[in-house]
Structure 1
Amino acid sequence: MADHLRIGIPSKGRLSEVSSDLLSAAGLSFRRQERSLFARVRDMPIDVTFLRTDDIPILCAEGAIDLGITGGDLVAESGAVVVTRLKLGVGNVRLALCVPDDSDVKRPVELDGKRVATSFPQITTGYLAQHRATPHIVRLTGSVEVMIALGVADAIVDLVETGSTLAANRLHVLAELGRYETVLIQNPATPHGHIADRICRRLEGVVIARAWSLLEYNVPEEKLAEAEQITPGFNSPTVNRLEQPGWFAVRAMVKRSEVIEVMERLEQLGATAVLETAITNCRL
């Protein structure tokens, strides 16, 4: 196995499923036996290692694995010396400093000497030090939202997605410490750099493809220039003349998050046969 590249992914949880799905979409086919810590990728010199999510940055830095898929927040908290090769477009979260709705604390500096509960002591300490505050850090590994209600802390630093949990616990965001997402990391001294580059390029193709759709439509010649402004494409749209005089067929990549709005604008412009096609992989 020493001559194989090792890539570490979470052994369980939602991120485990996301990681396996991304690798499969990138053409890395493997099957994990029940409770096994390793799996061999078919037809490539690659082994997949199943690990605790928060151990992956350290194990990658120490050379136990060459590549790893984990949260960017965990990479930042660990302080591990690794190279972030690619943001994977999933698991987007923000790390926020939160206080009770009825708190007198209005600025981070006012937390000096107070208790702050968090699973991210390194990031929290560094951030508050920049604001001239030295709090008492209450280190936790589980849910921290209830710690203020339990009388354990005056404030918390935690990951926030929708904010509904904060509202349920009568908390609000005082400051944002950072935004993070799932990332592909690499040991800077890996001897398998060429294979790592192949994996990174394959994953990049999947990540970009999932962020875009292919839009096709027909448009009259007098509206073509305006339609091209609506759908400029990744570089530029593909335009072909139709047999029907005065009409053109247009194909262009459109950001998936904007597809519905773009289709409505094209329809209002007079475009017809507006079709969206999902892109599963690409090289751009």
Structure 2
Amino acid sequence: MLRIAIQKSGRLQEGSLELLKESGLSFSNGKDQLKTQARNFPVEILFLRDDDIPQYVEDRVADVGIVGENIYVEKQKNNEIVKRLDFAKCRLSIAIPRAETYGGIKSLDGKNIATTYPNIVKGFLKRHGISAGIHEISGSVEIAPGIGLADAICDIVSTGSTLLSNGLKEVEVVMQSEAVIIATPGLDGEKADILDKLLFRIEAVKKAKNNKYILMNCPNDSIKLITDVIPGMKSPTIIPLARQGWSSLHSVVDENDFWEKIDLLRSFGAEGILVIPIEKMIV
């Protein structure tokens, strides 16, 4: 049985639960539930405070955990990242009062910075040769400059709306963060095997989200041009149509350059283009 720790509430919980369910795990997750067991996979899920997850993984109470990379870096526990999950993306940034003029990173020298991430901030300041005071506080970091506790803050930023509503502006990005799976180094054979199977499923889900299945009708004399643009996993499927000189071509296109490739395909004479989401993608 593999024990997975996820956030019991907060911005990572919904994405973590969705990912596990999309990976084929069936489980209940009622309100205030502290743990649950998958009905169809050897996994037990623990619902914990995100700040506590690295410690639980280090202590082997949980074998793996889904946390923000910022938490993993800040806590400095004996964990390792085994998978980046490409959701809950944000950044840890330094912000100052909006009315102030920012003179570059050297202007932070001698200032006081309020943060929930003292270890990350200390490392950042040290790398840039800045000497600043750090006030470690939990929650409501944005209020610190307004009440005279600090000259600046360092906190998680997603859209920047919270900073704006508190009269602050972002001036330095300290680190980028996303959801990651962390694990206890040296998992035993059985748990390592279960984790490998779970990671395989998660990768299939991630690949599916990053690609679309595409069907189109195209002139036969454009097939070579089109297959060069969308080669698919090995090669496209080509089916002759009843219409002379035309074929139906099926392939896969990367979501990141989807529109650019669609425009190119249309310029090659492709028409009747259908785009279909992929639920799982195993290569």
Q: TM-score, length-normalised on structure 2? A: 0.90
Once the 2 structures are TM-superposed, how far is the Cα of residue 261 of structure 1 from its aligned partner? 4.3
* Residues matched between the structures, number: 281
Which position in structure 2 is the counterpart of 1:199? 198
Unaligned ranges ≥5, structure 2? none
Contact 2:11 2:88 in 1 (8 A): no
> SS where residue 117 of structure 1 aligns?
strand
Aligned to 2:258: 259
Is there any run of 5+ residues in structure 1 with no aligned partner, and where? Answer: none
Alignment check: 8 A CA contact 1:106 1:174 kept: no
Which residue matches 2:213? Answer: 214
Which of 68, 72, 82 in structure 1 is aligned with 2:69? Answer: 72
Residues 41-56 of structure 1: pairs in structure 2 closer than 5 A: 41-56=38-53
Partner of 1:274: 273
Displacement after TM superposition at 1:215 (Å): 1.2
Alignment-mate amino acid for residue 193 of structure 2: H
Higher deviation after alignment, 47-56 or 147-156: 147-156
Q: How far did residue 110 of structure 1 move?
A: 2.7
- Which digits, 9 at most, give the CA deviation of each residue in 1:145-193, with x for residues without a partner? 3322222221111222223333444433322111111111111122211
Supply the AA of the counterpart residue of 2:171: L
Query: SS of the counterpart of 2:221?
Result: helix
RMSD over aligned Cα, in angstroms?
A: 2.1
Kindly report which structure 2 residues correspond to 1:76-95, keeping only aligned pairs within 5 A, or say none.
76-95=73-92
Distance 1:167 1:41 in 2: 42
Deviation at 1:143, TM superposition (A): 2.9
Alpha-carbon deviation of 1:90? 0.8
Residue type at the aligned position of 1:52: R
Q: Are 1:38 and 2:35 matched, yes or no?
A: yes
- Identity level (%): 32
CA contact 1:96–1:160 (8 Å) conserved in 2: yes
Does residue 227 of the first structure (1) align with residue 226 of the second (2)? Answer: yes
Separation (CA, whole Å) in 1 of partners of 2:138 and 2:197: 35
- CA apart distance, 1:219: 1.2
Q: Is the 8 A contact 1:86 1:185 kept in 2?
A: yes
> SS in structure 2 opposite 1:149?
helix
Deviations 1:99-154 (A, max 9, x none): 23443542223322211011111101110011111211121221323322222221
Residue identity opposite 1:222 in structure 2: D
Question: 186, 191, 206: which is aligned to 1:189?
Answer: 186
